[in-house]
Structure 1
């Protein structure tokens, strides 16, 4: 069922081309949109292609683990029961929220996720800027096969979530009607998440439903013009550097410390954390 996402790729490309073309017809009210940069888009596409290639092998590992866990539990949720699908939707979306939140609040996870925030542009190509180290993703869904969801259902839910999220990476859609904005993750909410403005940091972790952010106190609405990217941008279009720059920075920071407790704290705390008395170096642990 993971292939569902791959089948969507041609539609992603068509929508991306359509959005790019739309920036040639901006009105006076759209002058502040960031739009596209061909080098930046090329980097995003390279990251996306690399992610797909790596996931071909990684998904085999994930499926094996999910299947093993599913066989260990006596619980079984009937895929023919509509309530199972409702439960699957909410369970997957909640798992995504916590995966996403931890990916910002723990630097070892951030080192993988920072790739997605490294662009100073915000368009459909940014959605394709994905990590080449996807191993941080799967653990947050391990409980679902144990709860009785068949592995293929878990993979399908992950796929529909990512397909939905592709469409919210755009400046071309403003705020939607208030009832929609109250419940769903929208382009407006996700623009906030990609902002490096101080008031937007570590906000709006939603996948499909923004209710989790409202429930857990991580929601903020779009106000001040969003500045995309990291608090300290890496200013490179080199895919290899984009993929691994934060791992390199984390390694350098860990090596400087003599205490193993401090080294572990550097890895597990958020990207802006430093031991008392130490300052954050501009080139490391940039936040987005």
Structure 2
């Protein structure tokens, strides 16, 4: 492959940082000019701290992912090469893999422990896009894309589309943009769709997992349009701006639950069950909360 292709995810993201900061400052300026409450100083500083930590850690941990992909590539089923149509297929394959990873990060607590960091802000702005985990690569999230090098997609090709996906998703973390022309909203992940994803409203929980495209959510039944302004953050917010606690609070909670669990089945449930699962039913998963809300609506008589 040409030399310029050997840009792995952290390098590509680092090149994009000046653009991220410029857009961030622009959005802050618009918020001040229009007197919007998009930003809160301590929250923004926490998000930037998480982003800086993520960028530094990824310089080292991303080699684990790339190395794993190169190892798997040795056992590839097909030699796909680098023709234009392979690049097109790789884009769709990577975006589908991201959807699977993102959906899994909301339905498997082990992966949620890393991803929850990104949802911990009660604000929704471009700094929220930078609020990233410090443990994602270490937790083995790369397994959601492991099938791609085995099929025959070159690891660097996969990394390039992974970078482009992350760069694309930066700008959709904003309230400054309402909605686009309908065909765009139907095909692509947009600020409107992603605002839903960051909502803690029961109707919005675990919805709109797409990266660049929103078609996977439409195909697999996880799409919900934005109808009302979301309430951002977690179902139970952590109320801290301490980066270390933001990065580790869910891992600590898992440790406590596993330690106090009555049996091994419960321990596995706390590790790999959905967030909110509990052995005694004392907590609620997103699906249980949604079912309860739907049942409540059925019991309320019209006009009552």
- Extract structure 1 runs of 4+ deviating beyond 4 A: none
Structure 2 match to 1:86? 88
The within-5 A match list for 1:1-288 is 1-2=7-8, 3-26=11-34, 34-73=37-76, 75-79=78-82, 81-135=83-137, 136-275=140-279, 277-280=280-283
Task: Please report the RMSD computed on the Cα atoms of aligned residues, expressed in angstroms.
Answer: 1.3
Gaps of 5+ in 2: 1-6, 285-304
| Separation in structure 2 between the aligned mates of residue 139 and residue 8 of structure 1, nearest angstrom | 26
**68-77 vs 146-155, which moves further:** 68-77
Gaps of 5+ in 1: 282-288
Using the size of structure 1 for normalisation, the TM-score is 0.92
Q: How far apart are residue 74 of structure 1 and its match?
A: 5.0
| Separation in structure 2 between the aligned mates of residue 53 and residue 162 of structure 1, nearest angstrom | 16
SS in 1 for 2:124: coil
| Separation in structure 2 between the aligned mates of residue 4 and residue 128 of structure 1, nearest angstrom | 15
| Separation in structure 2 between the aligned mates of residue 212 and residue 127 of structure 1, nearest angstrom | 21
| Separation in structure 1 between the aligned mates of residue 79 and residue 13 of structure 2, nearest angstrom | 25
| Separation in structure 2 between the aligned mates of residue 178 and residue 70 of structure 1, nearest angstrom | 40
SS in 2 for 1:228: coil
SS in 2 for 1:72: coil
| Separation in structure 2 between the aligned mates of residue 147 and residue 74 of structure 1, nearest angstrom | 5
| Separation in structure 2 between the aligned mates of residue 113 and residue 35 of structure 1, nearest angstrom | 22
Q: How far apart are residue 137 of structure 1 and its match?
A: 2.5
Q: How far apart are residue 83 of structure 1 and its match?
A: 0.6
Per-residue CA distance 1:108-131 (angstroms, 9 max, x = gap): 110110000000000000000000
**216-225 vs 66-75, which moves further:** 66-75
Q: How far apart are residue 63 of structure 1 and its match?
A: 1.5
Per-residue CA distance 1:142-192 (angstroms, 9 max, x = gap): 111111111110110100000000010000000111111011000000000
Using the size of structure 2 for normalisation, the TM-score is 0.88
CA distance 1:34–1:191, shift in 2 (3 Å): farther
Are 1:195 and 1:227, in contact at CA under 8 Å, matched by a contact in 2? yes
Q: How far apart are residue 133 of structure 1 and its match?
A: 0.2
| Separation in structure 2 between the aligned mates of residue 167 and residue 37 of structure 1, nearest angstrom | 19
Are 1:123 and 1:169, in contact at CA under 8 Å, matched by a contact in 2? yes
Are 1:34 and 1:122, in contact at CA under 8 Å, matched by a contact in 2? no
